[in-house]
Amino acid sequence: MTTPTPKDREGTVFDLGYRRYDGPREGRNRARMALYLDGLRIAMGIGRGGRAKILPWLFVIVAIAIGLIMALIAGAVDRFVGEGAAEAANLPSHADFYSIAGLLLFLFAAVVGPELLCPDRHNKVITLYLVRPITGIDYVAARWLAFLTIMLVVAWLPQVVLLAGLAFGAPQPGDYLIDHWENIPKFLAAGAAIAIYSTSMGLAVAAFTTRRGYASVGLVGLLIISQMAAGILGSNLTGAAAEWLSLVSLSDIPLHINELVFNTTDSLGGGQAARDLPTAVRIGAFFVVTLAAIGVLWNRYWRLSV
Amino acid sequence: MDVLLRADKLTKHYGSVVALNSATFDVTDGVTGLLGSNGAGKSTAIKLFLGLIKPTSGSMQVLGVETTHNISVRARLGYMPEHDCLPNNVAATEFLTHMAQVSGLPPAQARSRAADTLRHVGLFEERYRPIGGYSTGMKQRVKLAQALVHDPALILLDEPTAGLDPGGREEMLDLVRKTHSEFGISLMLSSHLMGDVERTCDRIIVLEDGHVVQQGAVTGFTEELETLFVEVEDRRSEFVAALQRLNVNATTEDSAVMIVGASEETYDLIARALAESEAPLRRIGPRRHALTELFTGAPAAGGAK
């Protein structure tokens, strides 16, 4: 090979042509990671148009705003009524957040969750995934984890904001945190329960349709109907029958965990009678419904990959 | 020559429907055409090789791996489906980078491969626009690009020219040819059009009702099945009579005279017959085979090897 003289090089465009790829191929784990990260981006509308960002970020902002407002009210009561007045008046705090914002979290799961599964089936991009070195289960597990990550952030962040607000509103923030540290593991646990639950329910419903709208309406409808059914049955029946039947209120099931974690009795909507059931049953109901939703999801995507 | 795909008595039933019936064939380096009418079993064969469906019986090898369901081998396969399979709200470059990673490439390499691949399929200028705004031809290029982005050893294309206008079809077939000749990647494409296969493929496998009817080099097919189409202004019956005196097998069809199995010397005989019958020639040319004709008039399987 000869070295080109400067004259030869003048004005020459070098087209390297097609180059084969002989770099690393990281197989299935790289694929799973890519699907997980892509799931995060889809959920928050990153790398998509402006319209895709509006709803998820609106939900996040509203959730944080609820935590902020709760902290501000407590701070204001303390300032104008007297120190310790907020606690004395039993103002809404960590234990009440999920019964106040629970609807918002379910709506988030209903509106944003289907975004991770429905368009891929609607546009048939799923076919392109299934011919790559992954299975349908790899795909749906990565999507589930991605949405769970987002749901955890949406469930925990307002509680962190509330905690910070309460701590900075107190005369001695350090002392406040030392006195109230047990709220942190409690809201982490209660938040994780509602996040896992709503993630699994939202995606399981989305696995039955290729249209996001239908999935959103489907999940909201399921929650409303089950809560109404529990309310009606609970008010007309008494005793053990009412307790068991009021468990069908699907939106209350993660709030049972909230009540148990914070040891309170004011979180539930239509399923109050179920409160009198043994603790094991209330926890069991949470696991049964969550695992059933995951099972449905698993089954829908396992069929795809033969 | 490496055997890239091997089907051995491959059979697939959908309920009582037999989509593929004991099909045995090899796909080697180069461009292979899978030719057959709708429902002949082309898509079924492609889906079996990709592991999207399981065979009812028989076995197959993909890139030398004996498998009916192997995930890792798909890192070296590309697939371009017949139907739409692209997201609307993502830019082509984002989509390809993601797809390269799902095939196992690390993020930095995926990004540069995505840009390179889009340039090779002729979509460099438009790569930051959302795919939803692309024309059919551009989408078809993105579909090919996603099959190419991870530099596979073999790409399977299901009806790559379906739904394209004549110009788009030409471009697509050129791109297929170029993928082999310049990029060195082997391809297998399915089509129901003899013309597409003839233009792009080195080898051909003909499927009919799930059976392999024929397989061999494309040149063998065209030689063996050449049919000439002769149209005369007048005196057609005299012309046919003259041909028959010269032992040329001719049939009439509408206004034309068809001569099956034409070879070099047939042209001389036709010229003599035209002169003898004093029939004014309007046009003469090779006639493209309709698929049905290819199947019914073709010699038994393997005859064109």
Would you state the pLDDT for residue B294?
57
Contact at 8 Å (CB) between B201 and B160?
A: no
Q: How far is B281 from chain A (nearest CA, A)?
A: 49
More confident residue, B12 or B52: B12
What is the reported pLDDT for B248?
83
pLDDT at A3: 52
Q: Considering the domain boundaries, does residue A105 fall inside one?
A: yes
pLDDT value, residue B216 = 85
CB B33 within 8 A of CB B191: yes
Q: In the predicted model, what is the mean pLDDT of residues B129-137?
A: 92
The answer, yes or no, to whether residue B7 has pLDDT greater than 50, is yes
Structure tokens at B273: 């017959």
Task: Suggest the residue from A18, A120, A127, A210 to mutate for an interface test with chain B (most B CBs closer than 10 A).
Answer: A18
Predicted pLDDT of residue B13: 94
Per CB distance under 8 Å, which residues of A are interface residues toward B?
A: 17-21, 23-28, 30-31, 33-35, 38, 47-49, 52, 119-120, 123-125, 127-135, 305-306
- Interchain CB distance below 8 Å, A128 and B50: no
Indicate whether A6 belongs to any domain. no
Contact A34 B130 (CB under 8 A): no
Residue in chain A nearest B178 by alpha carbon: A18
Q: Check residue B292 and give its pLDDT.
A: 47
Work out the average pLDDT over B31-35: 94
Whether residue A23 is contained in a domain is answered as no
Residue A16, in any domain of the structure: no
Residue B292: which residues within 8 A CB-CB, separation 6 or more? Answer: B37
Instruction: Name the pTM for this structure.
Output: 0.85
Cβ(B187)–Cβ(B31) under 8 Å?
A: yes
Cα radius of gyration (chain B): 23
What is the tens place of the pLDDT at every residue in A138-149? 999 999 999 999
Partners of residue A28 in chain B, C-beta under 8 Å: 71-72, 104
- Residue A51 pLDDT > 90, yes or no? no
Q: Strand locations in chain A, DSSP E?
A: none
Q: What is the mean pLDDT of residues A219-232?
A: 90
> A130 and B81 in contact by Cβ < 8 A?
no
Task: Say how far apart CA A287 and CA A88 lie, in whole Å.
Answer: 35
Return the pLDDT at A173.
Answer: 87
Residues A192-221: what's their mean pLDDT? 96
Asked if A19 lies within 8 A of B86 by C-beta distance, the reply is: no
Highest-confidence range of A199-208, B39-48, B134-143, by mean pLDDT? A199-208
Nearest to A35 among B51, B102, B151 (CB): B102
Q: A297, A142 in Cβ contact below 8 A? A: no
Angle between helices A183-206 and A212-236 (to 10 degrees): 120
Q: Per residue in B191-240, pLDDT tens?
A: 988 888 888 999 999 999 999 988 888 876 665 566 788 888 888 888 88
For B54-92, the pLDDT digits (tens) are 899 999 999 988 766 678 899 999 999 999 999 999 999
Least confident range from A19-23, B33-37, B78-82, B287-291: namely B287-291
Which residues of chain A neighbour B53 with C-beta distances below 8 Å? 306
In chain A, the residue whose alpha carbon lies closest to the alpha carbon of B100 is A31
**pLDDT for B1:** 63
**ipTM for this prediction:** 0.86
For chain A, what is the mean pLDDT?
Answer: 88
pLDDT band at A292 (very low <50, low <70, confident <90, very high): very high
Mean per-residue pLDDT for A208-236? 89
Residue A18: inside a domain, yes or no? no
Report the pLDDT value the prediction gives residue A271, as an integer from 0 to 100.
Answer: 66
Q: Does B75 touch chain A (CB under 8 A)?
A: yes
Facing B182 at nearest CB: one of A17, A25, A119: A17
When scoring B102, B103, B180 by the number of chain A Cβ atoms within 10 A, the one with the most, hence best to mutate, is: B102
Q: Which residue of B has its CA nearest to A121?
A: B85
Residue A54 clears pLDDT 50, i.e. is over it: yes
Q: Residues of A with CB below 8 A from B111's CB? A: none
How far off is chain B from A121, nearest CA to CA, in Å?
9
Does the distance separating the beta carbons of A38 and B74 come in below 8 Å? no
Q: Which domains does chain B have, with CATH numbers?
A: 3-215 (3.40.50.300), 226-288 (3.30.70.100)
| Amino acid code (one letter) for B223 | E
Inside any domain, residue A1? no
| Chain B residues near residue A27 by CB distance under 8 angstroms | 72, 75, 104
Closest approach of A115 to chain B, Cα-based (Å): 12
**pLDDT at position A105:** 95
What's the confidence (pLDDT) of residue A245? 82
Q: Which residues contact B78 (CB under 8 A, 6 or more apart)?
A: B146, B147, B148, B150, B152, B154, B155, B156, B185
Domain range for A162: 32-304
Distance CA A160, CA A177 (A): 12
The answer to whether residues A170 and A127 touch, using CB atoms and an 8 Å cutoff, is no
- Set of chain B residues whose Cβ sits within 8 Å of the Cβ of A31: 101-104
B105 to chain A: nearest residue by CA? Answer: A25
Q: How far, in Å, CA of B2 to CA of B18, rounded?
A: 30
Tell me the chain A residues in contact with residue B90 when contact means C-beta distances shorter than 8 Å.
47-48
pLDDT at B293 over 60: no
Domain count across chain A:
1
* pLDDT score of B302: 36
Question: B303 pLDDT exceeds 70?
Answer: no
Calculate mean pLDDT across residues A5-10.
Answer: 50
Name chain A contacts of B151, Cβ cutoff 8 Å: 20-21
CB B247 within 8 A of CB B224: no
Check CB contact of B98 with chain A, cutoff 8 Å.
yes
Lowest-confidence range among A26-40, A90-104, A231-245, B117-131? A231-245
Listed range (A150-164, A196-210, A270-284, B256-270) with the worst mean pLDDT: B256-270
The reported pLDDT for the residue numbered A25 is 92
pLDDT band for position A13 (cuts 50, 70, 90) = low
Contact A27 B101 (CB under 8 A): no
- A25/B75 touch (CB, cutoff 8 Å), yes or no: yes
Long-range contacts of A245-248 (CB under 8 A, 24+ apart): A245/A273, A246/A270, A246/A271, A246/A272, A246/A273, A246/A274, A247/A271, A247/A274, A247/A277, A247/A281, A247/A285
Tell me the percentage of chain B whose pLDDT exceeds 70. 90
Residues of chain A neighbouring B132 (CB-CB closer than 8 A)? none
Average pLDDT over residues A243-248: 83
Q: Which of B139-148, B227-236, B274-283 is least confident?
A: B227-236
- Kindly state whether residue A190 falls inside one of the protein's structural domains: yes
Among A51-65, A238-252, B33-47, B211-225, the range scoring the smallest mean pLDDT is B211-225
In a domain, A60, yes or no: yes
CB within 8 Å: B109 and A35: no
Residue A297's pLDDT band, with cuts at 50, 70 and 90, is very high
